[in-house]
Amino acid sequence: MQNLIFIAKSPNGHSHLESILMDLSKGLKYNPTVASFDDDLHTIESSGIPSQLKTLFYRRLWADQLLDPAPVPGVRDCLARHCPRDTLLMTDMETPESGRWVKIPVLVARNRSARVVWFIAGLVPSESSDLLIPPWARKLMDTRFKDSICCAEQCARHACPAVSNRRFVVFPLAVDSGMMQFSDGSAALALGLGMKSLMTGHAVSPDVIATGGLDGHGGITSVGYLDQKINGACEHHFKCVLHPVQSAPAQALDEQHIRQMTPYAVSRFDMAWTLATLYSDEHARRLHDFTMALADAGLFIDKMARFPGQWLGYQKSVVQGLLADIFADMALFNRFARTFAGMVRDYSRHDTAEALTESAPDAVPGKWPMAGLIWCTANLALFNHRGETIRAKIWEQQGKAMAEHAMTLDADLAVEFFNTLLVNAHNRFEFTTDLPGSLTRLLALLETRHRVMAASGCVIDQPLGRLYGTLVQHSAFCGPRYIDATEAWSRKALQALGENSSPELEPEWMRQYSYLGLARLCAGDMDGALACLFKYLGVEDAGQIAAKVPDLNPFQINMSARFLAAEDIAVPDTLYTGLVSHVTKTLRHGHPWQLICFNLGRAALLRHDKENARSLFEQSLEICRDNTLGPTIGIMMLKPLAFLKDLVSTSDVNAETDHWEAQAKADARQLNPSRFAFLFDRPFFSALEHVRRHHDEIFPFSYQ
């Protein structure tokens, strides 16, 4: 304020004062106390500035108060004593402070140049929903400009049609000269974006400015003087200008300005909204690619993995149109399905993948069974990983309908599908030795192919080996009485994956020893189980494991913890203490850490270490209760709970029982209600006792 006082008193400072007051990009610094603020107002009032400038001064102060979410107490009352708000703004707003307010930069061209004028927009409580433009502001606008504000309001209200008992108030921060200052409809886009931000609560990036008309149907219409407006935006340090596609910058536009900022051509209001709310220096290049990709199906396929799912959601109608075109073209759909499958293999892309599925046509193109099966398999894997078992089941059924035909064209695609299908069944706790007829036929086809390949010297068949590995698990989940079948599938898997002859496939064939070791442990073959453990960990005896703990991966740690929890196997105590210490330092949320903590908790109980047992069971429970991990992990909360109830106080247990029971039942309903019927036919503590007595039957094989 002291700076304003100095300028106001300067003989030639009035034009400079006007420019400062009209520039909302720079805040005014007020004196810290109401008394000093009051003194400053008296000083400026008596400085001799023209009445129009004095009015602008008070409008600026009131604008600051409306825009400030936490104004200094007493300042508004002080300001009202000098210049009542209603008198100044000429409105009948009752409680503008209870509304939401934003400042909107608008590019105004005149005399072949452009400047930024700031508008104030508010959404305030009111019985009337009619747009309010103060009378003094109306005098500064021509009919087209006022119509453009109405059009902007329509676009904003379309975003949230349910919002009622609110009205928009719009006025410029401008000198009340009584002369026409605002003409044509090119401010509609900027005003519409600002007004929509009030409706939705999502802010427009402060680096973005927009120019363009609106046609009343969400389309953006052309503007004039675009080059001048872009130059004006650069001079005011904006980094992004949204403009109509019909109005392109001239080739001769100042290259320095183009380097400083990014112009985006937009044709629809919803696209402009997406860019305006998402723009940042970090996202500038990716947003440019996004706008280009939405106009070209092939480019969209190439770039789609880079776009967050949220962005696709903002442009859902456009993405739906693109995907409809892609699903109608064989070459495009094939590219899309394969790219999508790659995204699903990268867990960091799952939000984007799910957004694509949400926008894709429901019908899978059956006339292209290979690409169709890739699409079904990828979605089955996606929703299986996300724990959405019901949606996964839908994709399983669609994939089955295509697999029979697809495997006669490309057997390896069918292998990927059936691997995913069986794993999905395991995650739903559906365990059976039966195999679908189409899978049996596929196995026969693959084994015939493998014999022919082996006769020619090619002994490794990776797809077949992976399928055998899944069948090892499929058999082992059915219990110890199927150990012979499990052993047979394991031998086939090791042979097809080239055990000891294919270093590049070593992680795959070595994993088979994890499956076989756990199956043997469940079947009571302790010597055979230990042999698998040593092979999987790369040691010769149990005494060497403790030294390797820091280098073990989570699944190797899990297998080691499972052996520690077994009563009939002698394992050095150094391994127990080493694993507990290591897990405490490296614990993560996710599979298999819930099992690691659970089995180490059981190992602690065997060693009468109740303190660590309780802590480890509680950590296992916390992981299982993480809703983002899905119901397969969630239902495993029953495991630590069955043991925890005897390690914690009754009051602690009773305080959480209702929450535990509700979540466990919800997970059971999603998975396999019949398998977990004991949760519904008895009290919860009785159900937990049932889990403790029948743990290995309820949670077989690798779920132990």
Per-domain residue ranges of the chain: 2-89, 92-281, 293-361, 544-704
* CA-to-CA dists, residue 60 to 97, 103, 119, 214, angstroms: 16, 11, 11, 29
pLDDT digits 0-9 by tens, 198-223 = 998 899 999 999 999 999 888 999 99
- What span, in angstroms and rounded, lies between the C-alpha atoms of 62 and 286? 39
Contact between 397 and 373 under an 8 Å Cβ cutoff? The reply is no
Contact between 119 and 173 under an 8 Å Cβ cutoff? The reply is yes
Scan for tokens 């990268």, then name that residue: 346
Scan for tokens 């703004």, then name that residue: 89
User: Half-sphere exposure of 314 toward its Cβ, with a 13 Å CA cutoff?
Assistant: 22
CA angle in degrees (0–180, nearest 5) for 370-376-377: 90
Beta strands in 515-598 (DSSP E): none
Top-confidence residue, 478 or 389 = 478
Contact between 635 and 688 under an 8 Å Cβ cutoff? The reply is no
pLDDT of 262 over the 90 cut: no
Give 226-251 as a 3 state SS string. HHHHHHHHHHCCCCEEEEECCCCCCC
b (16+ CB within 10 A) / e for 639-665? bbbbbbbebeeeeebeeebeebbebbb
Sequence-distant (≥ 6) Cβ neighbours of residue 525 within 8 angstroms: 483
State the pTM of this model.
0.77
pLDDT the model gives residue 412: 94
Contact between 107 and 114 under an 8 Å Cβ cutoff? The reply is yes
pLDDT of 263 over the 80 cut: yes
pLDDT the model gives residue 432: 93
pLDDT digits 0-9 by tens, 173-191 = 988 777 778 999 999 999 9
Question: Looking at beta carbons, which pairs linking 420-425 to residues 24 or more positions away fall under 8 Å?
Answer: 420/377, 420/380, 420/381, 420/384, 421/380, 421/396, 422/470, 422/471, 422/473, 422/474, 423/384, 423/470, 423/473, 424/380, 424/384, 424/389, 424/392, 424/393, 424/396
pLDDT the model gives residue 92: 58
Scan for tokens 């897990």, then name that residue: 583
* CA-to-CA dists, residue 364 to 371, 380, 397, 420, angstroms: 9, 13, 12, 18
pLDDT the model gives residue 372: 96
Q: Which of 121-125, 357-361, 472-476 has the lowest mean pLDDT?
A: 121-125
Scan for tokens 């029971």, then name that residue: 661
- Local confidence band at 559 (pLDDT 50, 70, 90 cut-offs): very high
pLDDT the model gives residue 89: 63
Q: Which of 28-42, 396-410, 544-558 has the lowest mean pLDDT?
A: 28-42
pLDDT digits 0-9 by tens, 14-73 = 888 888 889 998 888 777 788 888 888 888 888 888 888 888 888 888 888 888 887 778
pLDDT of 255 over the 60 cut: no
Please state which CATH class domain 92-281 belongs to.
Answer: alpha beta
Q: What is the mean pLDDT of residues 359-377?
A: 93
pLDDT the model gives residue 162: 66
- What span, in angstroms and rounded, lies between the C-alpha atoms of 315 and 270? 7
Contact between 200 and 222 under an 8 Å Cβ cutoff? The reply is no
pLDDT of 268 over the 80 cut: yes
Contact between 104 and 191 under an 8 Å Cβ cutoff? The reply is yes
Sequence-distant (≥ 6) Cβ neighbours of residue 448 within 8 angstroms: none
Q: What is the mean pLDDT of residues 654-669?
A: 89
- What span, in angstroms and rounded, lies between the C-alpha atoms of 333 and 112? 49
* CA-to-CA dists, residue 571 to 87, 539, 615, angstroms: 86, 14, 22
pLDDT digits 0-9 by tens, 563-614 = 999 987 888 889 999 999 999 999 998 999 999 999 999 999 999 999 999 9
Tokens read off for 317? 């109608």
Contact between 172 and 119 under an 8 Å Cβ cutoff? The reply is yes
pLDDT of 254 over the 60 cut: no
pLDDT of 161 over the 80 cut: no
pLDDT the model gives residue 253: 58
Scan for tokens 């189980």, then name that residue: 529
Rg (C-alpha) for the chain, rounded Å, is: 34
Residue of 472, 471, 381 lying closest to 420 (CA atoms): 381
pLDDT the model gives residue 216: 80
DSSP code string of 658-686: HHHHHHHHHHHHHH-TTTTGGGTSS-HHH
Residue of 559, 595, 567 lying closest to 699 (CA atoms): 595
Return phi, psi of residue 561, to 5°: -65, -35
CA angle in degrees (0–180, nearest 5) for 318-324-329: 130
Contact between 24 and 63 under an 8 Å Cβ cutoff? The reply is yes
Question: Looking at beta carbons, which pairs linking 661-669 to residues 24 or more positions away fall under 8 Å?
Answer: 663/625, 663/634, 663/637, 664/634, 664/635, 664/637, 664/638, 666/631, 666/634, 667/631, 667/634, 667/635, 667/637, 668/631, 668/635
Instruction: Return the number of other C-beta atoms located less than 10 Å from residue 205's C-beta.
Output: 18
Which amino acid appears at position 304 of this protein? Answer: M
Sequence-distant (≥ 6) Cβ neighbours of residue 435 within 8 angstroms: 443, 471, 474
